[in-house]
Structure 1
């Protein structure tokens, strides 16, 4: 275990995948700052209140916001030591220790720092073991609380992300730009859409549903090819394959019927715009030939 006290100009360090590959560090560290800051990981952005502790895995990317380093405390812990008390250590990255347990751990870190000059080598080993067990006791309730709190937040983020997709059906959708606009990381965006079969599948279903709405509209004067092109289909055959696989008829036959209710006889007509199913093979066609 390594303990450091830091007094320095405001810092906002980050750790990229390339840097991780270069240096190979894979230990953990606990950070206790006296000022509010945020941590961005591949799972999202987390606010860390002043005086709270955040836990970081050096084998995973992160970025911390700039904050004054006034008597900041860092405890470094080997991965094997953390794994001995918390076997699922890979899920700890970005965890914020909260509640009474978090306050107790913060007091423990401050006490170690205040008495670091009088702790001998033999005593240090015992304090290191005590610190590990205290970390295990504090991390478990914080993880459970974090998991419970993330459920409604993720649901709200998914609703916002779906609205974004539906409002951009006629524009090229770039995942990086979408994530940036929504204030999410790419991996967080992918995770949100996992129940929908992924971002691409959700987009495919919404574009096909929009095409079907246009074909149902008696005032629509555009050709089937023009409608398909407006919603990202590269050709008539591209649209026809995707539409037939989703709705059981070609766009031309569907339009000729003039009444989408006919599809309900003996066949699932698929979801209307805004009502989604988890998977749909049509997604394969919107993003390249099968």
Structure 2
């Protein structure tokens, strides 16, 4: 519904994938193969949920993913001839991305630009992330030297952060007409052009932090993800990972602070639980199961991050589940990548 109470027309570009069955990795592998990359399991646990929107020569993937390693190498590059660009943005979680051998651990709001004509790697332990696929000719018409940014981390902590701008767009993406999507592509390419004016030293300064603080933050994030239903106060987290509260604050400052990380991860887990399409279980039960104090608390956090309430998200999934033309599959993805690379 719109704020005026008028039903909003269904977005014809929206596609959803929700797979939690035993064969889910095989299906996800085939999906990613359509984009020109190989995927490997990281461990025993795997889960993937994808919402996708395709607007002609721009495609947006909104993913929640557990336990996958993505690689694009020279064999893939020679085989498919893809030349598009893709921008990966982390909303929350634990993700390492970049050029093979030079991957960096991302923090929420960070973006990584990839050129499909060069190798890349992205390792997702447990992540909530967005990927925007952009046509090469449209990007280079505005930013002809952008290929030099391949694999570079564009920090979310900087003023005018590209990653934060993309996440802001995504909060209203369900209502975008195709003409607006084209405008978004133009905004992204213009922002990339501005990034190119910055020095390599500025990048190094922006993404640098002590190994000790990085290690503490990672331990805290793993503890949070594994204990969402528990008391996740700063005191409890600091005590559990064996650091002082002040040390925890310093380590978590780069990702918005302890409360922000806990809220993002609980909202991401709520979205994942709803995506499993267990219609017998109430959203309120899910919210309490993962540590929200109430359904209203969970709904506010969810809407702040994703731009729609949990009920609206569940309704969209149900609607897509009964519509064959809304299903996301490898064949459809191949068509999209073909259009973008024409």
TM-score by length of 2: 0.39
Q: Which has the larger radius of gyration?
A: 1
Between Structure 1 and Structure 2, the one with more helix by share is: 1
Between Structure 1 and Structure 2, the one with more strand by share is: 2
Q: Which has the higher contact order (CA 8 A, sep 6+)?
A: 2
